[in-house]
Structure formats: structure tokens, C-alpha cells
Chain A
Amino acid sequence: MTVFLYIVVALLIAISLWQLSKVVKIYKASKLDTEVANDADNKTQGGLMLLYLIFIFAFTFYGFYAWSEVMLGTPASAHGPNYDLLMNVSWAIIFPVFFAVQFLLHYFAFKYQGKEGNKALYYSDNMKLEMIWTIVPVIVLTILILFGLFSWNDIMSFDFEDEAEQPIVVELYAQQFSWTARYAGADNTLGDANVRLIDYDNVNVLGLDTSDKNYADDVIAKELHLPVGKRVHFKIRSQDVLHSAYMPHFRAQMNCVPGMVTEFSFIPTVTTVDMRKDDKIVAKIARINVLRAERRKAGEDLDEEDYIFDYLLLCNKICGQSHYNMQMKIVVETPEEYAAWMRTQDKAKDVITVAGN
């Protein structure tokens, strides 16, 4: 399909050149050519405007035909479907406006191309029209703003006091150029921490305050495991510069700011295993593996094994040289699997050597 696109572009360029050369010939014949547009120019350029309109529309449709499959696919969090709905409502507003406006703009350009002797309409004001294109956007935007605000408040309220089941508290810790997760443990309370307390000799890599007893059962991990269907409350820290914890499949993102703790929260709804069976993901991963096989054949040094889908945490705020490779695997699993995994993890009190002991 890419080839098709190149052909269309080449064709359009060829037509433009051909049209131009025709015009040049007409000028030379008439010998009345100046650098100001004349009727012949207006005719050519007006025609090209129409062609350009076709190009814009064809390219737009081509994009959706050829590239829709690269998009993220099924959301994996409880607020995800609502997010996608709002996104689709926005597109439903954007596309008709886009097509209508581009059509009017280029069609008028084509239709009203200048001719010697024509006179334009002296038409400078119309209160009614101005009101229409003020009030219609006002109404549409009011709907969008309200919808957006309700979703926003829903996603960004981190007060879970009244909820029957308390969320799992997980710290996301960012540093150049890796991620670490810290689970609050049985007490579901993270021990205090500050990067000033980092002590590599005593394996205190996150700067936990060992005088705060809550630290003892905290669990530090290099993979982010989450039980499906349970709310997670992320407390996010950074050790050095700004980072951003971006979990695209969960429609989740929050910056990591040194000197403060930021928050985000969502409920994962699809386990990694189930997501690997999702139609769109299956198709996407199959395509990717075909591409990787081709590259391997071409001599590129890639893993021999097929790529398997995993949720990802990416850094999405420029943070230095290896910003482009700052990632952590996210595993969403059943509560039983999660509990089993958790049991295999060391507790902070068993890892960190407390000074003086």
C-alpha cells in the first residue's frame, strides 16, 4: 500500500508539472506575461486547488485504511472505555467539520477563480452568519467540555477513604534511565522515603527511611505486577530529572517530579494473558513478527524468538540520553497469581541493611 501512496504522490506532482509547462507555453505565445497572475494562471491554479482537495481527502482516507491498525486497541483499564468514547465523540465532531471546511475552502477557490472582467461581490458583513459560527461551536464545545470534565474528575480524584475496598498502593520510582516499583505490603502503607537517604552500600536504593516502621514490609520490584480488577493507587517519585510514567494501554500517564510525589490511579481490567488473545493485539503482534522475521533475514541482529505482547511503562518526558529506552514491563494477572508472585518477593527489611545493626 505504501507503493500505492508513492504512485499517487508522483502522479500528482507529474500533473502539476505538466499543467505548469502548459501554462508556460501559453505565456510565451501571448508575450504578455508579467509576474502577476493572469486568467491562465487563475484557471490552472484554481484547477489545482480542486485536485489538492481530492489529495487531502484521499490521503485522509488512505491513512485510516492503512494505518488504523497501528493504534493502541482495546483499553485495559476501567476508565479506558470511557476515555475511548470521549475520544471517538471528539473525532465524530472533528471529521465532519474538517471535511466541510476543507471542501468549502478549496471548492470556493476553484469556483471563484478570477477572470478578466468579472467583478467580485461587495459583501462585508452579516451579523446572522457571524452569530451562527459563534453559537454553534459554543454549543458543541459545551457538550465536550462537560463530558471531559466529568471524566477528568472521575479519573483524577484520589480520595478512596469511603470505598469498600482500599486500593493497592504502589510507588513508581523513576531515575535515569529505569523504573522501579515499590509495593506497600500488608499494611498497605508505604514507608517514608527521600532520595537523600539513598545508600548503595546498604542496598537502600530508593532512599527508604528505616526509622519509619512502615518500610519493613514494602516490596521493591523491577517488574510491575498488578492484580486484575483491583484499584491501584500510584504514588510517583523521581530521583533526578523529570520523567513521565506513561502506560498507554491503560490510558494512564503522570509526570514524575523530583521533590514531590504525584499520583495516578486506575483499575486494570484485562490480564496480560487475555490481552494476548485480543483480536487487535493478535493481528498487531502477528504483523510485527512478520516484519521482524524480514529484518532478521536481512541480517539484522534481533532476538530469534517471536515477540510476545506485554503491557509497558514508558518514559514520556525527555530525560536525557537514553530517554528512548526507559521502560518497565507491566504484568496484569489474576489475584491468585499476583499473590503468588508477591510471596516470592523479598521484603525491604530483608534487603536493606540498617546502619548500626
Chain B
Amino acid sequence: MSQDDHGHHKETFVTKYIFSIDHKMISKQYLITGIFMGIIGIAMSMLFRLQLAWPEEPFKIMELLLGGTMAPGGVLNADAYLALVTIHGTIMVFFVLTAGLSGTFSNLLIPLQIGARDMASGFLNMVSYWLFFLSSVIMLISLFVEAGPASAGWTVYPPLSALPQAIPGSGMGMTLWLVSMAIFIASSLLGSLNYIVTVINLRTKGMTMTRLPLTIWTFFVTAIIGVVSFPVLFSAALLLIMDRSFGTSFYLSDIFINGEVLHYQGGSPVLFEHLFWFLGHPEVYIVLLPALGITSEVIATNSRKPIFGYRAMIASILAIAFLSTIVWGHHMFISGMNPFLGSVFTFTTLLIAIPSAVKAFNYITTLWKGNLQFNPAMLFSIGLVSTFVSGGLTGIILGDSTLDINVHDTMFVVAHFHLVMGVTAVYGFLAGVYHWFPKMFGKMMSKKLGYLHFWITAVGAYGVFYPMHFTGLAGLPRRYYNNTSFPIFDDLTDINIIITVFALITGLGQLIFLYNFINSIFNGEKAPQNPWRSTTLEWTTPVEHMHGNWPGDIPEVHRWSYDYSKPGHDEDFVPQNVPMKPGEKELHH
């Protein structure tokens, strides 16, 4: 959109709020859809946690929410349990932490922080959102299919996901899952291409790559990883559709089920695992990097200090991105692939600890001798570093093929990845919402409710996932409907109850956020132009949104985005558009 356009055409309700091509509106659409999906995903986890703590006990709420087929008499049945686990994973990973997180903040911040009037293609951006919306709707519709939604786990390994004879969810439910994901991937690719093109081409004058805020670096690199890996999941899904519907044998061979031999011959489920994890592992970083980028920005702003080791941060983002594409095999150490590959993947996997350590220490050094402003976003960012480290450290165990043998697919894995990518990315998401809410809605969120929300979540997150390490080390597999069939697991009941109690508290605690979010949109205090006294360009735009973002010329950039507390300036921040004083130097070069 060129500068002359804005203000000239009439906007209707439909073009402003629904089929908008304005990146700020699309960002809000992503955010609200993401939050909505998040509520569903979290609610599902609370329901199956009830079953795990009090197996087969009737809960009225279960029948109320899930109906008599999935939870007759309020008792969740085994198929429905697997369905909940599957859809919880799918929704949280893809719909909340990929589309919700990247979609919201890449859309909002890329144009605003690089100094562009909008995305390179506003139309593609709109198409991207509506494809995401469509895929969300299809995923939700799949919950109401008679035989139940997809139930083969979020990794949908065939043959379980390919054969309705193996599990009822692999009928219509799985078909809808695949259709939804195919559309989702198309949406994600359109979005990613747009982000990449915008960052490369539309940076304002003076905004060199080494002056970009780290948020933009992470969004940019995330989009590249997405473009490289999502098409592979697309092909994996396509081949699975072929196997399911057109009788091919890409993944299936020699199967005898329900008293009959199936015709499939020559395929291998291990092929699917390779294709799935070729996306699936980079996906972890697609989820994680934007959260880390947001944290970099929030920690620097609220520490009133430059982010420590800007260049090392960029190097570690690039290193993580590169390594993320060559470590997928660590999900498959015991899949039956050649053990030699296990050695290679152990090596590459453990290397990721190095750039991750660099990032963690750089955050901590940024806090050192800062003047920390504990806005809610800052709390969540510090919480993010805490869970990123706690969860990341157990990766040393899981990434080691030898140790993986006995903890693979146990609750230990569930504990690990929920801390390191689940909670961490959710913290990044929430930090982003608290930090950029004033930019998105022109209002302030209540900090008191923000504090309450953080502390409940922070205590709850460890309360849920720390004890889970122990059940995993006791040998308890994941995706078990109950563990009462094994007396040897009987002494895990107490731990399971503790986990569930924390999960319920934490889940309900999110209602505080929801209330604060909605209430602040309507009744929040009016936001000042730059509430956090930040240096980046988005805070030079007017509070009231307008097409084209800046009323006059796009500001020119004269410095990097981390000039906080720079000696020789009166204020403790120097916005990027302030020219250098005579004799002033850019210190990070």
C-alpha cells in the first residue's frame, strides 16, 4: 500500500474488520483466533488430567462438555481420552503456538519495527489468515464426527492413523485432521513467504540487518525454517491421504487386522516418521524462536539496558535454525532405523545445547546491573528464561540415544517438551500480548491482574511438569488412559493427583488473563504513545491505528534498537529514529 492511498477509500465493516488487508487488523485476528483455540486446547488438557488423577471416576463436567458418546455417565472413555490428547497436541503446537504466536507478532511487528507501511502483499496476508481460520474451523468440526476426531496422537503415525479398523478416530476424524492440516500448511507458507519478502525488501532507510530488533531476526529466521520444513509435512500428509483413500502403500506393509490381511505391501511407517519429524523438529524452533525474540525485546526494554551480545544472539539464532533441520532423527532413536544414524543424530542434537546456552546466559547478563521494570511482560520473559533452562537441560538426556532408550515416550518426555517448548513459548506469547497490547488496542492491560496471572502460572507450570519427570523415570509411558492396569505404577497415584491439581489451578488461572484481555479492550486505561519507553519504531506510530502506519514520512533509522541508558543522553532510551549526536558511536559495531 502506498502512502497516497490511505484515507482515500471508504471502509465498510467487512473490509475493516473481516476481510482486512491491514497487517495490524490481521494480527488482531490471529491473536483472537489463537486465544480461542488456546482455551479449547487447555480445557482439553484439564479434562484428561482429571481422568489421569481419578481414573474412571464420573465427573459431571465431562459429560456436559464432551457429551454422552465420549464420556458416558461422566466417565471419559479410552478412545475419547486418546482423541483429547491428540487434539490438545495438535491445537497447542500448530494453532496456538505456530499460527497464534507467529501470526500475531510477525504480522504486527514486522512492518512496524522495520518501518514499512504494510506487508509486502496485504492480500496474501489476508488469504493466509482466512486459510488459518478455515483450518481451525475444520479441526473443530472434526470434534463432532460420530466416530470421534483423530486419535493417533498429534504425530499421527501410520498405520494407526491410516486404518479405521485400528482406532475409530482414524476414520472421518482423521480425514478432517489431514484436510485441516493441509490448509493450515498452505496458510503458514503464504504467511512465511510474506514475512521473508517484507523483511528483505521493505526495511526503512538506515534499517540495516544489524540494526534490526531481535524480534524481527527471529520472525525472519522462523519464516525461513517454516518454508523449508512445512512442505515436507505437506507431502507426508499427502502420501498418508493416498494410503488411506487411494490404496497406495507408502507407509504400510504386511498388516493383519480384524481377522484379515490388508493388501498393502512394501511401504514403511518409518518413512512417515522421517518426513513428519523433518518438519516436526524444526517446528519446535518455529514455536520457540519467536518467543525468544519477544523475550529479547521485552528484557532489554524493561532492563533499560542493551540486549547483551546482540551479534552472538543473531549467530545463535542462525545456528539453532541450521541445526534444527538436521536433528529430527532424535525422535526416532528406537524406531528401527539404522543405529548408526542414532549416533549422528545424538551428535547434532547435543550441539544445539551450545547456542541455547549462549542465549540463556546473554539474557541473564542483560539483567545484570539493569534498572529492571517489572511490567507483566517482563515477568513472563524472566519466567521464560527459567523454564527454557529447566526444560532444556533434560534435553541432554533425551538427545542422548543411549539414555533415550529407557525414557523414550515416557512421561519424562512429556515433562521435558512441555517445559522447554510448551510453557516457554506460551510465556513468550503472553509476554508479547502484555507488551504490545497498548500498540494493538490503544489501551493498557491491568498490571495487577497481570501480576496475579503470572504468579499463578509460574507456580503452576513447575507444579505440573516437575513431578512428571518422576513418573517418567518410574517408567510410566505417555498416552496411557490410566495406569491402574499395572500395580507397579500404583505408587504414582499421589503424584498424578498433585499434577492434576496444579493443572486445574493453572488452567483456571488463565481466566484472569482472559478477563483482563477482554475487559482492557473495552475499559482499559488509554495507552500513551510509548508506555514502556521503548526505542523501536512501532512506538513512533500514533496510538489510533491508521493505514500506512505513519501519518507522514516513514522515519529514518540512525541506530540499533538497543540504545538504553546510553551515556551522553538525558533519557534512558534513545529511539532508533533519533540521529546520532556529533561524535557519538554505535558501540556494538
Contact = CB atoms under 8 A, between A and B. Distances in A.
Interface of A: 2, 5, 9, 12-13, 16, 20, 23-24, 34-37, 41-42, 44-46, 48-49, 52, 55-56, 59-60, 63, 67-72, 83, 86-87, 90, 93-94, 97-98, 101-102, 104-106, 108-109, 112-115, 118-126, 129-130, 133-134, 137-138, 141, 144-145, 148-149, 151-153, 155-157, 175-176, 194-196, 198, 200, 207, 239-242, 244, 246, 248-249, 251-255, 257-260, 262, 284, 287-288, 291-292, 307, 309, 312, 314-325, 327
A204 B473 CA distance: 38
Main secondary structure of the interface of A (DSSP, over half): helix
A36 B374 contact: no
Given A123-B305, A321-B79, A288 B488 contact: yes
A324 B485 contact: yes
A248 B410 CA distance: 10
Contact of B364 (A36, A52, A104): A104
B304 A114 contact: yes
B417 interface: no
A312 B259 CA distance: 27
A45 B458 CA distance: 13
How extensive is the interface on chain B, given as a class? 35 or more
A318 B86 CA distance: 11
B261 A119 contact: no
B544 to A, nearest CB: 18
25 contacts: A35-B447, A36-B375, A37-B374, A72-B474, A86-B402, A101-B360, A114-B372, A121-B368, A144-B350, A151-B402, A156-B339, A241-B158, A241-B166, A242-B159, A253-B334, A253-B405, A258-B254, A259-B253, A292-B490, A316-B408, A320-B160, A324-B481, A324-B482, A324-B485, A325-B485
Contacts of B157: 242, 317-318
A119 B566 CA distance: 9
A124 B308 contact: yes
B269 A35 contact: no
A89 B48 CA distance: 35
Contacts of A42: 372-374
A45 B78 CA distance: 44
Given A251-B405, A258-B254, A259-B254, 7 more contacts: A49-B382, A87-B403, A102-B389, A109-B382, A123-B306, A133-B358, A241-B255
Interface of B: 78-79, 82, 152-153, 157-160, 163, 166-167, 252-257, 259, 261, 266-270, 303-312, 334-336, 339, 342-343, 346-347, 350-351, 353-354, 357-358, 360-365, 367-375, 378-379, 382, 385-386, 389-390, 393-394, 396-397, 400-403, 405-406, 408-410, 444-448, 451-452, 455-456, 458-459, 462-463, 466-467, 469-471, 473-475, 477, 479-483, 485-488, 490-495, 497-498, 524-525, 531-532, 562, 564-567, 572, 587-588
Given A134-B358, A255-B336, A314 B486 contact: yes
A327 B159 contact: no
Contacts of A315: 477
A176 B254 contact: no
B255 to A, nearest CB: 5
Contacts of A134: 354, 357-358
Contacts of B310: 124-125
Contacts of B160: 241-242, 318-320
A72 B228 CA distance: 41
B372 A318 contact: no
Nearest to B367: A108
A321 B364 CA distance: 46
B477 A316 contact: yes
B402 A200 contact: no
B389 A98 contact: yes
Contacts of A86: 400, 402-403
Given A20-B448, A145-B346, A194-B254, A67 B335 contact: no
A70 B256 contact: no
B403 A242 contact: no
Contacts of A114: 304, 370-374
Contact of B588 (A97, A108, A125, A133): A125
A33 to B, nearest CB: 9
A156 B364 CA distance: 41
Given A104-B364, A120-B369, A287-B491, A130 B483 contact: no
A180 to B, nearest CB: 13
A100 to B, nearest CB: 10
B301 to A, nearest CB: 11
A113 B477 CA distance: 43
Contacts of A12: 459
A284 B491 contact: yes
Contacts of A246: 409, 475, 477
Contact of B462 (A45, A56, A257): A56
Nearest to B356: A137
A39 to B, nearest CB: 10
Given A122-B564, A244-B409, A291-B490, A36 B447 contact: yes
B162 to A, nearest CB: 9
Contacts of B166: 176, 240-241, 319-320
